[in-house]
A and B are shown apart, each in its own frame.
Chain A
Amino acid sequence: MHSASLANKVFIQRDYSEGTTCKFQTKFPSELESRIERTLFEDTVKTLNNYYAEAEKIGGQSYLEGCLACATAYLIFLCMETRYEKVLKKIAKYIQEQNEKIYAPRGLLITDPIERGMRVIEISIYEDRGSSGSSSGSSSVSGSTAR
């Protein structure tokens, strides 16, 4: 049985100031004030934003991918992974890493935004009830994204 139980969830919203590209607000929510340092949180969100910017960048490589795919009537996507999908895998790995190293020891859990329709970054706040104080409650969740 888990010694930690879910107390609350915080939802980091999207930042639309630069348009419809995927970017999350780096504003530090008050619920996390006692749980994690502001700089760690901001670093996580900024790194995620950078990953998404890389995925959605419109430039030479995206043109090449687009034109090549069009020439093959987009059949090439049946065997090739798109750049966005590659970056999404990197993001999933990064989030798992962050959960294991930084967030789980503090009783927090980040959910990959793709599982929430890229609308929010959901951060679950767990309260430690057990006397052992182990933060085992979150480790089983981070690896089970079934895609």
Chain B
Amino acid sequence: MITRKVRKWEKLPGKNTFCCDGRVMMARQKGVFYLTLFLIIGTCSLFFAFECPYLAVHLSPAIPVFAVLLFLFVMAMLLRTSFSDPGVLPRALPEEATFIEMEIEAANGNVPAGQRPPPRIRNVQINNQIVKLKYCYTCKIFRPPRASHCSICDNCVDRFDHHCPWVGNCVGKRNYRYFYLFTLSLSLLTIYIFTFDIVHVVMRSVDNGFLNTLKETPGTYPLLFLSDFLEYLSFTVLEVLVCFFTLWSVVGLTGFHTYLISLNQTTNEDIKGSWSGKNRVQNPYSHKNIVKNCCEVLCGPTYPSVLDRRGLMQEDSPVSAASAAPSSSSSNSSSSNPVPQTTKTTAPLIPNEHTPDDAKPSIAASAEKSPSPREEHHPPAPKVPPLASPETDAETSIAKDKTH
């Protein structure tokens, strides 16, 4: 048995990729992110190379300087959004998963064989609204309010907004403000470059005396215009095209997120229509004041990452594809992270129709082994949070409260 120290990020479940020894965390597919980088850096390089010398001389040197600052800010926000932990919630360790299972069992009582058990939902009251917390079968936790499971990254993310392929990462609690500032500053940069491209075209045309040429020789004007145009302004045309298409999408996105921030909603909630007003459910997180909502989202505290990516842990057994040492009685170990986090735990699971298919064989397998390392646990506490009565569809209703 070889014991070696590894960084915790190497053992994290989920489909993220890590770089720089755990300092950088991104989604697996990064192709679109590279495209974003290419478009921004490419267009700005053309702008700095071809327009800026002319504009600096003929208009003002402040123009390229401001453009450089704006470009650096955009890049900083993009990299910060892409490389940081969006607010991933770590999966439950086996003991916690078992504890939750026992609570669920206690609340559900005895389900007669053949009948499907009720969906796993916990009701909480937030600011006088009933919010339903759903159980995540992958992470084995009840998701906190506003958290959602990203299927692309295979993680539960706190205050999940959406998974953005353009930045190659999820957008959640920890990086939402960077994402917003990225779209905002990119809008400004696009408008800036677009404007000065047009200014450049106009000034070049005026400089080359097109207006005079037009007056004297109207017939040959198109040919002259075309050749000079191609000579000086082809890159400008390219930039204008990129900026034009970017403008519509990015400015629109910035406007949309400004709207969401003023209401303290996430994209996920907006898409699902969680607070759309039907059933008289209102957003319990909104302060009902636009300024307060904006301040909370943009100037709120900087939440720390709860994923300890660069911490060290012991790896006890040689790496093998099968069981990652679940039977090492790790609940008694003290000095290091005792249990390597695996996606399939040995906690007893009650399969029902919501159990993902790939978990069912492992349930059958673990039912044959001894289910839990400890035998003498106390009976579950009678005080458990109220669970919903059986509903046919857990997805839609947020606060139907039919049974009350």
Contacts and interface: CB of A to CB of B under 8 A. Distances in A.
B57 interface: no
Interface in B382-399: 382-383, 385
A9 interface: yes
A30 interface: yes
Contacts of B302: 65-66, 69, 77, 82-84
B334 A141 contact: yes
A120 to B, nearest CB: 6
Nearest to A57: B301
Interface size class of B (residues with CB under 8 A): 35 or more
Contact of A11 (B96, B159, B181): B96
A97 interface: no
A96 to B, nearest CB: 14
Interface in B323-379: 331-332, 334-336, 374, 376-378
A119 interface: yes
B59 interface: no
A79 interface: no
Contacts of B92: 119
Interface string B303-337: 11011100111000000000000000001101110
Contacts of A130: none
A62 B124 contact: no
B99 A63 contact: no
Interface in B146-185: 146, 159, 178, 181
Given A7-B374, A18-B127, A73-B76, A82 B335 contact: no
B311 to A, nearest CB: 4
A58 B377 contact: no
A42 interface: no
A73 B126 contact: no
A13 B383 CA distance: 12
Interface in B85-144: 89-90, 92-93, 95-96, 99-100, 124-127, 131, 133, 141, 144
Nearest to B75: A73
A119 B89 contact: yes
A60 to B, nearest CB: 10
Interface in B197-226: none
Interface string A51-73: 00001111000110111011001
24 contacts: A5-B332, A6-B374, A9-B96, A9-B99, A11-B96, A11-B100, A16-B131, A17-B124, A20-B159, A31-B381, A70-B181, A73-B72, A73-B76, A74-B77, A83-B301, A83-B302, A84-B301, A115-B308, A116-B96, A119-B92, A119-B96, A141-B334, A144-B334, A147-B311
- For the complex of A and B, 5 pairs with smallest distance between CB atoms: A66-B299, A73-B76, A117-B90, A146-B311, A117-B306
